[in-house]
Structure 1
Amino acid sequence: MKTTDILISEYQTQGCEIAFNEVYMQYSDKAFAIARSRARYYGVDQAEAESEANIALYKAITAYDLAGGFEPFLIKLVKFYVRDLGRKQLRQATRDSEFSEDAATSTGNEPELAAIKKEQRELLRNLTDSTNDKSRQALAAFASTKTFSFREAGKLLGVEHKTVQNRIRKISAGSQHVSLNEYITA
């Protein structure tokens, strides 16, 4: 019985299909098992993962340079292909959800929403112009956090989160008809 390296070399140099089939039969079960395992890890359909493993096995046989072992090379390639499939599906799902959110929010009253946003921004600009620097810094730090968190803003400024919250509330106290939520959404 020939070794894997010899069989791969025969296929790569002479195009021997028998050598390819022997290597394929020897490693296909292992490649598919790894693909199924990784499919569960990445939340990918097992049939699609096995399809990627099939492609990876073909690429491994054609691209293997006889350096190191073939099996570790194949395992790494299968894991890479399945991981890449999982990432592609995740990106697609994210794009689809963003598209559906955009479609759900576009109800035909965009001019009204734009006018409300413009009014809120003007109100916010007027309020921030008439306040002190510390309150403005607190508001800027709050707005710069991804989650709109008083704690994160406090960490950025080096103060307690209650201090940030109180400084922002001072801004809204400057106007009787404005609540905290109105200018946070602006």
Structure 2
Amino acid sequence: MKWIKYLTINKIPYHIYKIKKKDSIILTNVENENNNLLIILCGILYITKVFPNKELLPVAILEKNEIFSQNRKNKDIYYKLTSLETTYVLSIEEHKVKMSNSYISKDINILKSHQKTVYKYELNNEIISQRYTKDRIIQLILIICLQFGKIKNKQLLIPFKLSQKNIAILSGTNKSSVNKTIKKMRTMKILRNVDKKTIYINNLLNLSLK
């Protein structure tokens, strides 16, 4: 892989973690002044910030070549990475990459990967900023379809299964609200689950659920 080749050539130490589908890993904020860069080599996962009271704040859904920067300054919180499909994550210390004098290269553009991740953060903030829970859930489903969906015979195919629990976490709502919203979408024939990995949206103009 290009990331591993790049790091090996520049003699930058790294670690690779495998996260099986539906599994999670915890990133604790240990005593360390250096931030870690987590690079998604392949797969899809979502990140949540966990506060001392166990409240969860969705951060972003990341995929291949996108980067998450773990800020270690706040020891009272930690991050949880949950895999939607088997995912490989590469971990490096950010300052060692900068010291290599090749922070931007032809094959590995870390800044560009950062920009993609920032865009994902902004999308997630737009979801959370919605006043009504149904609007959060609908916007999340649409964004996932637009980012990961593949059109086939007027159906949107997504490469992973989204449980109601995952939708609730990513939209900052609860399973009851998710269940209610999805049932209404099905009743109005706006959304139809063809199988575990297929979503069919009949009419985007009806998504306000008025």
* TM-score between the two structures when normalised by the length of structure 1: 0.23
Name the structure with the higher strand share. Answer: 2
Name the structure with the higher helix share. Answer: 1
> Which structure has the larger Rg?
1
